[in-house]
Amino acid sequence: MLDLAIIGGGPAGLTAGLYATRGGLKDVVMFEMGMPGGQITQSSEIENYPGVFREEPHLTGMELMEPWPKQCMHFGLKHEMAEVKQVKKEEDIFKIITPSQEYEAKSVIVCTGSTPKRAGFKGEDEFFGRGVSTCATCDGFFYKDKEVAVLGGGDTALEEALYLANICSKVYLIHRRDKFRAAPPTVERAENNPKIEFVLNATIKEAYGSAMGLDGVIIEQDGKEIDLKVPGLFVFVGHNVNNKVLKQDDGSFLCDVNDWGEVIVNLKMQTSVPGLFAAGDVRVDAAKQVVCAAGDGAVAGIGALNYVQEHFND
Ligand code: FAD
Ligand code: NAP
């Protein structure tokens, strides 16, 4: 039986593995369906991970994550390249179900992340990471004193538009309706911000640019096309929380999740189920940053170590 099963090998899962193995847990397996590293490996530049900074050329997400697995494996973390389909708990023991095998574990840390949704307009994928972004905290600074556009009408779009207005010279808020899902006080703050211009009842037809990156977006509004020349477009049309592994046969979740499917944890990353922890983007109120996911992973790794030592003193 495993001491600990970690589901997901991004910054949260790898750091959880490092702390749990280095702290003394023996049989720790990280189930990662791809190469370890997580979603940051898709990013062409990261400049807000403390202590690791390169001005030109920018440090890529792949470069940031490259040494992490080796450090974890040094202390005994094992990587199983498999997609976990389900995690169950029977009495005190967790079952980890993969397509080919079923594992037993004394504790589990879920670090499966979340995935921002794409809006689906032409050029979105082509310019993703080269002007099109889903993270204002990550990429907003690259557009300091420049004009940018934000797509979406929910809380995230409005809050991130306000964040970007602190950095950028102007923010066009493009939304397909004239009513917002965002909370009224947030909408009011955005309306009162002189740097934010609302472009309503409008959809993005196409993002265009060159090999250098995004040059602008073509918007359709009231049957007319508008050419908005912006080097940055932030898409906030919702996100999928990767919580499928917690779904039980009857459709319920193994532990408490909120209305948006985010796993509810306390400050020790403990879920409502003893021995089950969640860390990183999959958890409630996640800042969705590498440094925060790593911090969560450390807390959860220490928590799992204590849990196993207290409950299974063999
Ligand atoms: P993830 O990194 O999403 O890792 C989850 C892992 O779990 C994945 O590797 C996935 O393959 C695996 N997985 C999921 N389900 C299963 C399953 N069922 N079985 C097995 N494996 C599974 N953050 C910053 O701090 N600075 C930045 O500049 C920055 N830029 C970004 C740019 C881009 C393009 C993107 C996409 C994100 C960026 N982020 C940035 C955000 C950062 O990448 C995330 O906050 C961070 O990676 C979250 O870590 P995590 O470990 O919680 O999840
Ligand atoms: P959301 O509430 O689902 O809003 C998504 C927005 O994107 C909607 O305005 C939607 O338009 C628009 N949209 C969806 N698909 C689109 C497409 N293909 N093209 C163009 N626009 C599209 O997502 P969210 O803002 O990420 O919020 C998710 C949940 O987290 C919400 O329940 C939210 O309240 C919560 N949240 C809360 C806070 C907070 O309390 N401070 C902060 C952030 C998020 P329509 O409106 O027309 O459908």
- Give pLDDT, residue 314: 62
- Enumerate residues 6+ apart whose C-beta is below 8 A from 232: 131, 133, 139, 142, 143, 146, 148, 149, 168, 214
Q: How confident is the model at residue 58 (pLDDT cuts 50, 70, 90)?
A: confident
Q: List, for residues 207-226, the tens digit of each pLDDT value.
A: 999 999 999 999 999 999 99
107 and 127, same domain (yes or no): no
CA atoms of 11 and 64, how far apart (whole Å): 10
CA atoms of 112 and 209, how far apart (whole Å): 33
Ligand nearest to the CA of 179: 2
87 and 157, same domain (yes or no): no
218 and 246, same domain (yes or no): no
Domain ranges, residue 158 = 118-235
CA atoms of 271 and 82, how far apart (whole Å): 24
Domain boundary among 204, 235, 266: 235
For 170-222, the DSSP string reads EEEEE-SSSS-SS-HHHHHHHHT-TTEEEE-SEEEEEEEEETTEEEEEEEEET
What residue owns the CA closest to ligand 2's atom 18? 119
138, pLDDT greater than 90: no
Domain boundary among 235, 255, 274: 235
Task: Choose which residue among 135, 233, 263, 282 to substitute to test ligand 1 binding: the one with the highest number of ligand atoms within 8 A of its C-beta.
Answer: 135
Minimum-distance ligand 2 atom for the alpha carbon of 186:
41
68, pLDDT greater than 80: yes
pTM: 0.86
CA atoms of 186 and 204, how far apart (whole Å): 23
**CB 248: neighbour CB atoms within 10 A?**
12
What is the rounded average pLDDT of the residues 26-41?
Answer: 95
77 and 173, same domain (yes or no): no
Q: What is the CATH number of the domain that holds 305?
A: 3.50.50.60
- Give pLDDT, residue 45: 78
| Residue whose tokens read 């359709």 | 220
59 and 110, same domain (yes or no): yes
Higher pLDDT, 285 or 55: 285
3-state secondary structure 213-255: EEEEEEEEECCEEEEECCCEEEECCCEEECCHHHECCCCCECC
- Give pLDDT, residue 46: 86
Which amino acids bring their CB within 6 angstroms of ligand 2? 119-120, 151-157, 159, 176-177, 181, 236-239, 260
146 and 179, same domain (yes or no): yes
Q: List, for residues 149-208, the tens digit of each pLDDT value.
A: 999 999 889 989 999 999 999 999 999 999 999 999 999 999 999 999 999 999 999 999
**CB 53: neighbour CB atoms within 10 A?**
11
Cis peptide before 57 (omega within 30 of 0): yes
226 and 162, same domain (yes or no): yes
- Look up residue 148 and give its DSSP letter: E
Asked if residue 138 has its Cβ within 6 Å of ligand 1, the reply is: yes
- Give pLDDT, residue 62: 93
Q: Give the SS3 label for residue 58.
A: coil
Of 207, 212, 286, 306, nearest to 8 (Cα)? Answer: 286
Task: Choose which residue among 135, 158, 178, 181 to substitute to test ligand 2 binding: the one with the highest number of ligand atoms within 8 A of its C-beta.
Answer: 181
What is the rounded average pLDDT of the residues 250-254?
Answer: 97
Q: How confident is the model at residue 71 (pLDDT cuts 50, 70, 90)?
A: very high
Higher pLDDT, 59 or 247: 247
231 and 156, same domain (yes or no): yes
| Residue whose tokens read 């948006």 | 260
What residue owns the CA closest to ligand 2's atom 35? 155
Asked if residue 11 has its Cβ within 6 Å of ligand 1, the reply is: yes
Containing H/E element for 11?
helix 11-22
- Give pLDDT, residue 134: 92
44, pLDDT greater than 80: no
Q: List, for residues 79-127, the tens digit of each pLDDT value.
A: 999 999 999 999 999 999 999 999 999 999 999 999 999 999 999 999 9
43, pLDDT greater than 80: no
123 and 199, same domain (yes or no): yes
CA atoms of 162 and 74, how far apart (whole Å): 44
Catalytic residues: 135, 138-139
Ligand nearest to the CA of 44: 1
* C-alpha 113 to ligand 1 mean position (Å): 5
Q: Give the SS3 label for residue 56.
A: coil
13 and 158, same domain (yes or no): no
47, pLDDT greater than 90: no
What residue owns the CA closest to ligand 1's atom 9? 38
Total domains, the chain: 2
* C-alpha 135 to ligand 1 mean position (Å): 12
Q: Give the SS3 label for residue 107.
A: strand
